Chains A and B, each alone.
Chain A
Amino acid sequence: EVDLEERLHELDLRSDSDIPDVPPPTDSTPEILKRALSGLSARWKNWWIRGILSLAMISGFFLIIYLGSFMLMLLVLSIQVKCYHEIITIGYRVYHSYDLPWFRSLSWYFLLCVNYFFYGETVADYFATFVQRREQLQFLIRYHRFISFALYLTGFCMFVLSLVKKHYRLQFYMFAWTHVTLLITVTQSHLVIQNLFEGMIWFLVPISSVICNDITAYIFGFFFGRTPLIKLSPKKTWEGFIGGFFSTVIFGFIFSYFLAQHQYFVCPVEYNSETNRFVTECEPSELFQMKKYSVPPLLQAMLGWETVNMYPFQMHSFALSTFASLIGPFGGFFASGFKRAFKIKDFADTIPGHGGIMDRFDCQYLMATFVHVYITSFIRGPNPSKLLKQLLILQPEQQLSVYKTLKSHLVEKGILQPSLRG
């Protein structure tokens, strides 16, 4: 038994090449596709499978968008759980620790705790009116942080109690692995949902820009690729990188133009307590109203226009696509490095021809955080529902004094008519 610890210690120190490769992933292509493509050679077959699955995923994406915000939230949640599962499974394989006592239950338990914490923070904000009506929910919301912390602590104590002699190091590794994975997958997915509530356009444009960059960089690389970009991913080239950048910016511009016209995409998602559904109806904010911009003299000669009608949002889409093309790929390199470090070809075999869910989402990793930070820094002021929630928690005397201050302010600005009855 002492060998397990010794072996692990040696494994840590040996350079990567000495570590044996994991056996190649099994072929999970559905039977139907296999029969349909049985005639073609292996290379063609692979290309077709990738193509068909790409189209399937994109169609699935459009379908979910059509079905609305709630379905999108569920989708994001399922993807998060699957990504988490994939990364944890890799950890088990690396450390041969699948049979560690308690560990599987603890990993899922921590996932539950962190999700409970985040959903409580976001959901409580958006469903303020719904929550107000129900006593038990009010209690849960008021002491939400305390309850989440207590749940997390229980998990922590269970971990300490589950420490077994001879397996200490493995258990600490898996504990750390779990926490880093939670940090990566769960926080990102909640930022995605918060972006979604800001307006579907803040969810669609970033994700599509990353996908577009992926595809166009590949195509440019395929036709014009010559200079390798980074040792980590030998298939990437500078030509692909730059071509992808320009195409993504143009794509973002055009795509935003179309989406900005529909209230469905532009309005913040709100929960209507009367109809018990999500609604996206509002007065479109300034960002989504056409404005005249003067074209800079440089481009005037090229385009032949003096002014152009654009949505202000398109300027923001410029920032989003730039990030997607320049920094997003670093998320992909990070994942490539990770796969090489742990000698795996793909994160999992979930999607035939593409690998696991994480393989599709590695570039999205940084995008969600960027969009969220961007929105809070440059677009959105404080969140009205959150403000309301905090107002309702105050002591009655404080509420009364705040009420008086607000009333005098509103009357001053002429927003509220004084001596109005009812």
Chain B
Amino acid sequence: QESESENKLDGETASDSESKSEFGGSSPVPTSDDTPEVLNRALSNLSSRWKNWWVRGILTLAMITFFFIIIYLGPMVLMTIVMCVQIKCFHEIITIGYNVYHSYDLPWFRTLSWYFLLCVNYFFYGETVTDYFFTLVQREEPLRILSKYHRFISFALYLTGFCMFVLSLVKKHYRLQFYMFGWTHVTLLIVVTQSHLIIHNLFEGMIWFIVPISCVICNDIMAYMFGFFFGRTPLIKLSPKKTWEGFIGGFFSTVLFGLLLSYVMSGYRCFTCPVEFNNDTNSFTVDCEPSELFQLQEYNIPVVLQSVLGWKTVRMYPFQIHSIALSTFASLIGPFGGFFASGFKRAFKIKDFANTIPGHGGIMDRFDCQYLMATFVNVYIASFIRGPNPSKLIQQFLTLRPDQQLHIFNTLKAHLVDRGVLGSLEDA
């Protein structure tokens, strides 16, 4: 057991030193040791390689435990956590920009970055909140006005920031200021939109939040293990530690893991029901009639697998079929998010995004593969799962003009008659 762990350590340090030599001449400022004193003392006797491995291991367990705790605490806490992670990621990337351009002292710039973050968050939260808290918003007068003119208010706020930027342009610093402006906007595009898509997914049902994130984490860990034991053929020049064996092994394990996790979670209403805001109790509830997706169905096993598994039919949740799509994406395309972040770190000659988590780097380092996953899940849900909300459509219908209402009604009627859903009887 011990020799195996030591081999693992050797593998890790060998590739670390390899990547160090690639950074070449201008090396970055070495990251300071962030490990808490407690851990330092406990591990003071071990050699530094062991210590690194233990620190990573302990922190990994700590993060996973933390994840379970906040799931237990409920949607509100989850939303707050997502918000904090988003702010931290934004801060990390902007700080890298400052370091790259030595532009920490640009006039107004720090204020403007945080201001734009606030504006974009205000815009997105307003759009989400209006949808989900509809009745609450309608009751309170100031909220109703804010929600009615929401887009206009958000645009006005953004414009103020834009004009402040233009007024803050200083001779001799134009280029730097435009660079930081561009940097801020691209960061907002990446970080803030993803976090809001995650919250949308969360409201669809906690399972749509937990399964994708766990698949990415599982793929990370599995690919590493397969790569460690069987790794031989390098995958991509960008990340020399990744191998084809790790990639393929990770893919199959993640699909299996996804199937199993979905099976376990689909049985519980607290995970499968959409999150709703209860006006009377003023809290979030997850209570509903489980949709078709979460009801066991008999599936016929394709003949090919029948001989392998020995079963003719199998009882599965339809959601598990969707989980295959999610895990496939997490294993095949998710890593590209990781490669993108690796390329970014090499381009700007940084080892990690920041030193927030000892042994792991910054928050962005943990979330780089999640980057594309959130968007995919959101697009997937919108395209294949959730249709438009009928009550919302009726609401919109009631605000139209009579002639428009009549036109829509007649077209719908013609469509229904066409499909044979409605007979030509008027009293249907």
Task: Indicate which residue in B171, B173, B347 contacts A172 across the interface (CB closer than 8 Å).
Answer: B347
- Counting CB contacts under 8 A, is B189 at the interface? yes
- Counting CB contacts under 8 A, is A308 at the interface? no
Task: Indicate which residue in B163, B167, B183, B343 contacts A163 across the interface (CB closer than 8 Å).
Answer: B343
Q: How far is the CA of A141 from the CA of B416 in the complex (A)?
A: 20
Shortest Cβ distance from residue B158 to the other chain A in the assembled complex, whole angstroms: 9
Known: A172-B343, A410-B405. A16 touches B173 (CB 8 A): yes
Assess whether A337 is in contact with B166, with CB atoms less than 8 Å apart: yes
- Counting CB contacts under 8 A, is A333 at the interface? yes
Shortest Cβ distance from residue A358 to the other chain B in the assembled complex, whole angstroms: 15
- Counting CB contacts under 8 A, is A112 at the interface? no
Task: Indicate which residue in B24, B155, B375 contacts A149 across the interface (CB closer than 8 Å).
Answer: B375
Which residues of B are found within 8 Å of A376, using beta-carbon distances? 151
Shortest Cβ distance from residue B322 to the other chain A in the assembled complex, whole angstroms: 13
Shortest Cβ distance from residue B397 to the other chain A in the assembled complex, whole angstroms: 6
Shortest Cβ distance from residue A300 to the other chain B in the assembled complex, whole angstroms: 32
| Cβ contacts B374-390/A at 8 Å (1 or 0 each) | 01100110111001101
- Return the chain B residue nearest A415 by Cβ: B402
Shortest Cβ distance from residue B343 to the other chain A in the assembled complex, whole angstroms: 5
- Counting CB contacts under 8 A, is A119 at the interface? no
Shortest Cβ distance from residue A263 to the other chain B in the assembled complex, whole angstroms: 16
A-B contact count (CB 8 A): 193
Assess whether A399 is in contact with B394, with CB atoms less than 8 Å apart: no
Assess whether B189 is in contact with A183, with CB atoms less than 8 Å apart: yes
Assess whether A406 is in contact with B405, with CB atoms less than 8 Å apart: yes
- Counting CB contacts under 8 A, is A315 at the interface? no
Assess whether A402 is in contact with B394, with CB atoms less than 8 Å apart: yes
Task: Indicate which residue in A171, A333, A342 contacts B347 across the interface (CB closer than 8 Å).
Answer: A171
Tell which of A58-66, A247-255, A390-398 binds the partner: A390-398
- Counting CB contacts under 8 A, is B125 at the interface? no
- Return the chain A residue nearest B411 by Cβ: A388
Assess whether B186 is in contact with A391, with CB atoms less than 8 Å apart: no
Assess whether B394 is in contact with A406, with CB atoms less than 8 Å apart: yes
- Counting CB contacts under 8 A, is A338 at the interface? yes
Task: Indicate which residue in A12, A369, A382, A392 contacts B415 across the interface (CB closer than 8 Å).
Answer: A392
Q: Which of B361-383 contact A (CB under 8 A)?
A: 372, 375-376, 379-380, 382-383
Which residues of B are found within 8 Å of A70, using beta-carbon distances? none
Q: How far is the CA of A387 from the CA of B399 in the complex (A)?
A: 11
- Counting CB contacts under 8 A, is B49 at the interface? no
- Counting CB contacts under 8 A, is A168 at the interface? yes
Assess whether B416 is in contact with A415, with CB atoms less than 8 Å apart: no
Q: How far is the CA of A165 from the CA of B347 in the complex (A)?
A: 9
- Counting CB contacts under 8 A, is B269 at the interface? no
- Counting CB contacts under 8 A, is B426 at the interface? yes
Assess whether A390 is in contact with B336, with CB atoms less than 8 Å apart: no
Which residues of A are found within 8 Å of B101, using beta-carbon distances? 12-13
Assess whether B159 is in contact with A374, with CB atoms less than 8 Å apart: no
| Cβ contacts A367-389/B at 8 Å (1 or 0 each) | 00110011011100110100110
Assess whether A384 is in contact with B174, with CB atoms less than 8 Å apart: no
- Counting CB contacts under 8 A, is B46 at the interface? no
Assess whether A160 is in contact with B343, with CB atoms less than 8 Å apart: yes
Tell which of A174-182, A193-201, A290-298 binds the partner: A174-182
The interface residues of chain B, by DSSP majority, are classed as helix
| Cβ contacts B169-185/A at 8 Å (1 or 0 each) | 10111111111001101
- Return the chain A residue nearest B384 by Cβ: A146
- Counting CB contacts under 8 A, is A276 at the interface? no
Q: How far is the CA of A169 from the CA of B185 in the complex (A)?
A: 18
Assess whether A168 is in contact with B347, with CB atoms less than 8 Å apart: yes
Which residues of A are found within 8 Å of B169, using beta-carbon distances? 232, 333, 337
Which residues of B are found within 8 Å of A231, using beta-carbon distances? 171
Assess whether A17 is in contact with B25, with CB atoms less than 8 Å apart: no
Q: Which of B149-201 contact A (CB under 8 A)?
A: 149, 151-152, 155, 159, 162-163, 165-167, 169, 171-179, 182-183, 185-186, 189
- Counting CB contacts under 8 A, is A156 at the interface? yes
Q: How far is the CA of A176 from the CA of B148 in the complex (A)?
A: 34
Known: A395-B387, A409-B398. A179 touches B189 (CB 8 A): yes
- Counting CB contacts under 8 A, is A405 at the interface? yes
- Counting CB contacts under 8 A, is B51 at the interface? no
Assess whether A330 is in contact with B162, with CB atoms less than 8 Å apart: yes
Which residues of B are found within 8 Å of A402, using beta-carbon distances? 390, 393-394, 412
Task: Indicate which residue in A145, A169, A338, A391 contacts B178 across the interface (CB closer than 8 Å).
Answer: A338
Assess whether B174 is in contact with A16, with CB atoms less than 8 Å apart: yes
- Counting CB contacts under 8 A, is B406 at the interface? yes
- Counting CB contacts under 8 A, is A136 at the interface? no
Assess whether B151 is in contact with A373, with CB atoms less than 8 Å apart: yes
Assess whether A146 is in contact with B422, with CB atoms less than 8 Å apart: no
- Counting CB contacts under 8 A, is B144 at the interface? no
Shortest Cβ distance from residue B276 to the other chain A in the assembled complex, whole angstroms: 19
- Return the chain A residue nearest B344 by Cβ: A172
Which residues of B are found within 8 Å of A160, using beta-carbon distances? 238, 336, 339-340, 343
Task: Indicate which residue in B238, B379, B387, B402 contacts A145 across the interface (CB closer than 8 Å).
Answer: B379
Known: A373-B155, A396-B419. A391 touches B399 (CB 8 A): no
Shortest Cβ distance from residue A272 to the other chain B in the assembled complex, whole angstroms: 14
Assess whether B383 is in contact with A398, with CB atoms less than 8 Å apart: no
- Counting CB contacts under 8 A, is B304 at the interface? no
Which residues of A are found within 8 Å of B351, using beta-carbon distances? none
Shortest Cβ distance from residue B222 to the other chain A in the assembled complex, whole angstroms: 21
- Counting CB contacts under 8 A, is A67 at the interface? no
Shortest Cβ distance from residue A343 to the other chain B in the assembled complex, whole angstroms: 9
Assess whether A16 is in contact with B175, with CB atoms less than 8 Å apart: yes
Task: Indicate which residue in B340, B399, B408, B416 contacts A399 across the interface (CB closer than 8 Å).
Answer: B416
- Return the chain B residue nearest A169 by Cβ: B347
- Counting CB contacts under 8 A, is B232 at the interface? no
Assess whether B379 is in contact with A149, with CB atoms less than 8 Å apart: yes
Which residues of B are found within 8 Å of A333, using beta-carbon distances? 166, 169
Shortest Cβ distance from residue B193 to the other chain A in the assembled complex, whole angstroms: 12
Q: How far is the CA of A241 from the CA of B170 in the complex (A)?
A: 22
Interface residues of B (CB under 8 A from A): 24-26, 100-102, 148-149, 151-152, 155, 159, 162-163, 165-167, 169, 171-179, 182-183, 185-186, 189, 236-238, 333, 336, 339-340, 343-344, 346-348, 372, 375-376, 379-380, 382-384, 387-388, 390, 393-394, 396-400, 402-409, 411-413, 415-416, 419, 421-422, 426
Would you mind naming 21 contact pairs between A and B with Cβ atoms under 8 Å apart? A15-B172, A145-B383, A146-B384, A160-B340, A163-B238, A169-B348, A179-B186, A179-B189, A327-B159, A330-B166, A340-B174, A381-B396, A382-B400, A388-B408, A391-B412, A395-B387, A399-B415, A402-B393, A406-B408, A415-B406, A420-B426
Closest 3 CB pairs of A and B: A168-B347, A341-B174, A146-B383
Interface residues of A (CB under 8 A from B): 2, 6, 9, 12-13, 15-17, 19, 129, 142-143, 145-146, 149, 153, 156-157, 159-161, 163, 165, 168-169, 171-172, 176-177, 179-180, 183, 230-232, 283, 327, 330, 333-334, 337-338, 340-342, 366, 369-370, 373-374, 376-378, 381-382, 384, 387-388, 390-396, 398-403, 405-407, 409-410, 413, 415-416, 419-421
10 A-B pairs besides A160-B339, A172-B344 with CB distance below 8 A are: A2-B25, A16-B175, A169-B348, A338-B178, A381-B399, A384-B404, A388-B411, A390-B393, A403-B412, A415-B406
